[in-house]
């Protein structure tokens, strides 16, 4: 597992016009005019958006996975994101109207690793965590891979599975905890601990889901690439709020930044039990 030590080399900061905004279930779908970002973004990359105007600005940016990009078009190139209005920052973004501008930095972070040869891939998303998986599905299909997708959420309105996205996958499974859509239960229940027909798993969603998938993958001998949902306050590796313990190929545990070395990690390398702590023996930790 290779880790870079610097920001994504294709990153730019730009004022991006909001082209459109629409409600999708419990979420908001925003399209931004961002040609420089759209040209270089890859599945798994994210954006960091400044919140508020000069008078009311909240200090920290908010990070959002890139849902789709269109490199060319009337606006030169567009980037789409899915926003769940939780706190004041994300709510402020969902209140932006078309033609307003946002201060955006991107593309940030690393990208999902794509096998050179066709594979049988399973893409698993939790809530709006499924958003970046649809562009990944298209990339895998272009490599002649078979793509299956599974999406889980608490309720039906928190399932993000756009009609156009469904065309990117060979099969789509849905699970909701209340049974309002698809199977009742967690998305990880759909696999019955069996991944016998799968070569690789890509996952994006809550940390508990990523941990469970990693364990299922370990039992099946299947690699699980996880897009972690750590809070990335600056997005450029300075604030160190998004660090988590990850074991390198030599067995050394290091505190890595989700916004720089991630957000995509080999699930088997992440020390899930120790997230939020600095495990004993971690490289550089005080003894």
Domain spans, the chain: 12-108, 120-274
Confidence tier at 167 by pLDDT (50, 70, 90): confident
pLDDT (tens digit per residue) in 20-33: 999 999 999 999 99
Decide if 130 contacts 60 (C-beta within 8 A).
no
| Per-residue pLDDT, 1 | 40
- Asked whether this chain's domains 12-108 and 120-274 adopt the same fold, the reply is no
d(CA 270, CA 278): 12
pLDDT at res. 56: 67
Asked if residue 59 has pLDDT above 80, the reply is no
Q: Provide mean pLDDT across the span 98-124.
A: 96
* pTM for the full predicted model: 0.92
Tell me the C-alpha to C-alpha distance, in Å, between residue 146 and each of 53, 164, 179, 235. Answer: 45, 17, 28, 33
Lowest mean pLDDT among 10-24, 30-44, 54-68, 69-83: 54-68
Where is average pLDDT lowest: 15-24, 124-133, 156-165, 216-225?
156-165
Q: How does residue 60 score in pLDDT terms, banded at 50, 70 and 90?
A: confident
Q: If you search the block for the tokens 């900061």, which residue do you land on? A: 13
Average pLDDT over residues 82-89: 91
DSSP 164-179: HHHTTSSEEEEEETTS
**Segment holding 52, helix H or strand E:** none
Q: Which superfamily does CATH assign the domain made up of 12-108 to?
A: Translation factors (2.40.30.10)
Looking at the structure, give the CATH architecture of the domain made up of residues 120-274.
3-Layer(aba) Sandwich (3.40)
């Amino acid at each position: 597992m290779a880790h870079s030590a610097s920001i994504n080399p294709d990153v730019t900061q730009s004022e991006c016009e909001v082209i459109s905004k629409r409600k999708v279930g419990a979420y908001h779908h925003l399209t931004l005019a961002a040609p420089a970002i759209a040209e270089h973004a890859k599945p798994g990359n994210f954006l960091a958006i400044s919140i508020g105007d000069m008078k009311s600005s909240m200090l920290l940016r908010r990070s959002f996975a890139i849902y789709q990009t269109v490199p060319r078009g009337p606006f030169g190139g567009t980037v789409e994101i899915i926003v769940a209005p939780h706190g004041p920052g994300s709510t402020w973004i969902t209140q932006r109207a078309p033609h307003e501008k946002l201060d955006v930095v991107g593309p940030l972070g690393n990208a999902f690793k794509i096998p050179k040869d066709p594979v049988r891939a399973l893409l698993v998303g939790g809530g709006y965590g499924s958003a970046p998986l649809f562009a990944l599905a298209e990339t895998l299909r272009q490599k002649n891979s078979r793509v299956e997708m599974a999406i889980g959420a608490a309720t039906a309105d928190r399932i993000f599975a756009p009609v156009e996205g469904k065309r990117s996958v060979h099969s789509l499974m849905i699970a909701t905890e209340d049974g309002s859509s698809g199977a009742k239960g967690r998305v990880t229940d759909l696999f019955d601990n069996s991944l016998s027909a799968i070569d690789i798993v890509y996952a994006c969603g809550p940390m508990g889901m990523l941990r469970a998938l990693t364990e299922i993958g370990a039992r099946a001998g299947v690699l699980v690439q996880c897009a972690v949902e750590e809070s990335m306050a600056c997005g450029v590796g300075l604030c160190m709020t998004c660090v988590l313990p990850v074991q390198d190929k030599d067995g050394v545990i290091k505190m890595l930044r989700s916004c720089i070395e991630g957000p995509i990690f080999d699930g088997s390398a992440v020390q899930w039990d120790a997230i939020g702590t600095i495990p004993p023996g971690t490289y550089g930790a005080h003894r």
